[in-house]
Amino acid sequence: MDTSRRTSKDDQSRIDWGIIFCVLMLALIGLASIYVAATHDSSSTSVLRQVVSQLVWYVIGIIAVVIIMQFDSEQLWKVAPITYWLGIALLASVLVLYSRTYYLNTGAKSWFSLFGLTFQPSEVMKPAYILMMGRVIVQHNDTYPIRTVRSDFLLIGKMLLWTIPVAVLLKLQNDFGTMLVFFAILGGLIIVSGVTWKIILPSVVTIFGLAGTVLALVIPESGRHLLEKFGFQAYQFARVDTWLNPSADTSNQGYQLWQSMKAIGSGGIFGTGFDQSHVYVPVRESDMIFSVIGENFGFIGSCILILLYFLLIYQMIKVTFDTRNVFYAYISTGVIMMILFHVFENVGMSIGLLPLTGIPLPFVSAGGSALIGNMIGIGLIMSMQYHNKSYMFGEDKEFS
Amino acid sequence: MKIFKKRTKKTNKGKAASLPFRINIIFIVVGILFVALLTQLAYLQVMYGSKFKAEVNRSDTSVVNGNVQRGMIFDSTGHVLVGNSAHQAIIYTKGVNVLSSDMYKTANRLAQYVTVPTGSLTKRQLADYYLADASNLAKVEKTISGIQDYSADAKYDKAVTKVEGYPNSTFSAATKNAATIFAKMSGAYQLSTVNIKDDKVSTREVAMVGEHLADMPGVNVGTSWSRNYPNGQSIQGITGTVSNEKSGLPSDRVNELLAQGYSRNDSVGQSYLERQYEPVLRGTKSQTQIVLNSDNQIKKEIKKYGGQKGDNLQLTINAKFQKQLQSLVHSAESSAGGNSTGTYAVVMNPNNGAIIGMAGVDRNPKTSKITDNILGTINSSIVMGSVVKGAMVSGALMDHVITPTNSTLTDQPITTGGVKKSSWFNHNGHANISVDASDALQVSSNSYMMQLAMKEGHFNYVEGGALTMSPNVFNTMRGYFNQFGLGVKTGVDIPGESTGLQGASGYNHIGSALDLSFGNYDAYTTMQVAQYMSTIANGGNRIEPHVVEAIRGTSKNGKLGTVKATVMPKVLNHIDMTKAQRDVVKTGLYRVVHGTNTYKTGGMLSSIKPEISAKTGTAQTFYNGNETVTLSLASYAPSSHPQVVVALAMPNLGVNAESNNMALAKQIYSAYWKTVQSTSTVK
Domain map of chain B by residue range? Answer: 60-95+201-207+223-312, 99-189, 319-681
CB atoms near residue A111 (< 10 Å) = 23
State the architecture of B99-189 in CATH terms.
Answer: Orthogonal Bundle (1.10)
Residue range A95-120: average pLDDT?
Answer: 75
Per-residue pLDDT at B8 exceeds 60: no
Higher per-residue confidence, B333 vs A355: B333
For residues B347 and B644, what is the distance between their CA atoms, to the nearest angstrom? 7
Residue range B575-592: average pLDDT?
Answer: 95
Q: Where are the beta strands (DSSP E) in B488-625?
A: 541-543, 548-554, 560-566, 571-574, 613-623
ipTM of the complex in this document: 0.90
Q: Report residue A399's pLDDT band, with 50, 70 and 90 as the boundaries.
A: low
Chain B CB contacts of A268 under 8 Å are: 45-46, 49-50, 52-53
Q: What is the pTM of this model?
A: 0.58
Q: List the 159-198 stretch of A: residues with Cβ below 8 A of B.
A: 188, 191-192, 194
Q: Report residue A8's pLDDT band, with 50, 70 and 90 as the boundaries.
A: very low
Q: Report residue B4's pLDDT band, with 50, 70 and 90 as the boundaries.
A: very low
Q: List the 115-134 stretch of B: residues with Cβ below 8 A of A.
A: 134
pLDDT at B66: 72
Chain A CB contacts of B21 under 8 Å are: none
B565 touches chain A (CB under 8 A): no
Q: Report residue B17's pLDDT band, with 50, 70 and 90 as the boundaries.
A: low
Report how many helices (DSSP H) and strands (DSSP E) chain B contains, helices first: 23, 22
pLDDT tens digits for B89-128?
A: 888 888 777 778 888 989 999 999 999 888 888 888 888 8
Q: Is residue A11 part of a domain?
A: no
**Worst-scoring range by mean pLDDT, A234-243, A345-354, B408-417, B546-555?**
A234-243
A204 touches chain B (CB under 8 A): no
Q: Is residue A8 part of a domain?
A: no
Per-residue pLDDT at A9 exceeds 50: no
Residue of B nearest to A325 (CA): B16
Q: How many residues does chain A have?
A: 400
Domain of A332 in residue numbering reads as 18-391
Considering its fold, how many domains does chain A have in total? 1
Contact call for A352 and B40, based on CB within 8 A: yes
**Worst-scoring range by mean pLDDT, A39-48, A193-202, A348-357, B648-657?**
A39-48
Chain B CB contacts of A261 under 8 Å are: 44, 52
Residue range A265-282: average pLDDT?
Answer: 83
pLDDT tens digits for B234-254?
A: 888 888 888 876 667 777 777
For residues B78 and B320, what is the distance between their CA atoms, to the nearest angstrom? 11
Using CB atoms, which residue from B37, B53, B137 is nearest to A306? B37
Type of residue found at B460: N
Main-chain phi, psi angles of A50, to 5 degrees: -65, -45
> Whole-number mean pLDDT of chain A?
84
pLDDT at A42: 63
Cβ contact A262:B52 at 8 Å: yes
Per-residue pLDDT at B170 exceeds 80: yes
Q: Report residue A5's pLDDT band, with 50, 70 and 90 as the boundaries.
A: very low
Q: Is residue A4 part of a domain?
A: no
Higher per-residue confidence, B57 vs B122: B122
Residue range B450-477: average pLDDT?
Answer: 92
Count contacts between A and B (CB, < 8 Å). Answer: 147
Nearest to B644 by CA among B330, B412, B355, B427: B355
For residues B594 and B602, what is the distance between their CA atoms, to the nearest angstrom? 8
**Worst-scoring range by mean pLDDT, A212-221, A339-348, B103-112, B403-412?**
A212-221
SS3 labels along chain A: CCHHHCCHHHHHHHCCHHHHHHHHHHHHHHHHHHHHHHHHCCCCCCHHHHHHHHHHHHHHHHHHHHHHHCCCHHHHHHHHHHHHHHHHHHHHHHHHHCCHHHHHHHCCCCCEEECCEEECHHHHHHHHHHHHHHHHHHHHHHHCCCCCHHHHHHHHHHHHHHHHHHHHHHHHCCCHHHHHHHHHHHHHHHHHCCCCHHHHHHHHHHHHHHHHHHHHHHCCHHHHHHHHHCCCCHHHHHHHHHHHCCCCCCCCHHHHHHHHHHHHHHCCCCCCCCCCCCCCCCCCCCCCHHHHHHHHHHHHHHHHHHHHHHHHHHHHHHHHHHHCCHHHHHHHHHHHHHHHHHHHHHHHHHCCCCCCCCCCCCCCCCCHHHHHHHHHHHHHHHHHHHCCCHHHHCCCCCCC
**Helix-strand-coil percent breakdown of chain B, rounded to 5?**
40, 25, 35
State the architecture of B60-95+201-207+223-312 in CATH terms.
Answer: Alpha-Beta Complex (3.90)
Nearest to A337 by CA among A133, A200, A157, A167: A133
Query: Which residue, among B30, B57, B142, would best test binding to A if mutated, counting the most A CBs under 10 Å from its CB?
Result: B30
Cβ contact A120:A309 at 8 Å: no
pLDDT tens digits for B339-376?
A: 999 999 999 999 999 999 999 999 999 999 999 999 99
pLDDT at B165: 85
Q: Report residue B557's pLDDT band, with 50, 70 and 90 as the boundaries.
A: confident
Chain A CB contacts of B7 under 8 Å are: 321
What's the CATH number for B319-681? 3.40.710.10
pLDDT at A338: 94
H helix or E strand, kind and range, residue B108:
helix B100-113
pLDDT at A116: 64
Per-residue pLDDT at B582 exceeds 90: yes
Residue range B535-554: average pLDDT?
Answer: 93
> Whole-number mean pLDDT of chain B?
87
Contact call for A303 and B41, based on CB within 8 A: yes
Angle at B603 between CA B597 and CA B606, to 5 degrees: 120
Type of residue found at B355: I
Type of residue found at B673: W
Residue range A12-39: average pLDDT?
Answer: 88
A361 touches chain B (CB under 8 A): no
Alpha helices in B443-596 (DSSP H): 446-456, 472-484, 512-517, 526-537, 579-594
Residue of A nearest to B156 (CA): A104
pLDDT tens digits for A26-45?
A: 999 999 999 988 887 766 67
For residues B6 and A211, what is the distance between their CA atoms, to the nearest angstrom? 37
Q: Determine what percent of chain A is predicted with pLDDT higher than 90.
A: 38
Contact call for A340 and B38, based on CB within 8 A: no
For residues B433 and B645, what is the distance between their CA atoms, to the nearest angstrom? 31
Per-residue pLDDT at A133 exceeds 90: yes
Higher per-residue confidence, B272 vs B260: B272
Q: List the 265-284 stretch of A: residues with Cβ below 8 A of B.
A: 265-269, 278-280
Higher per-residue confidence, B297 vs A187: A187
B35 touches chain A (CB under 8 A): no
Contact call for B45 and A352, based on CB within 8 A: no
Query: Which residue, among A317, A318, A326, would best test binding to B if mutated, counting the most B CBs under 10 Å from its CB?
Result: A317
Contact call for B37 and A353, based on CB within 8 A: yes
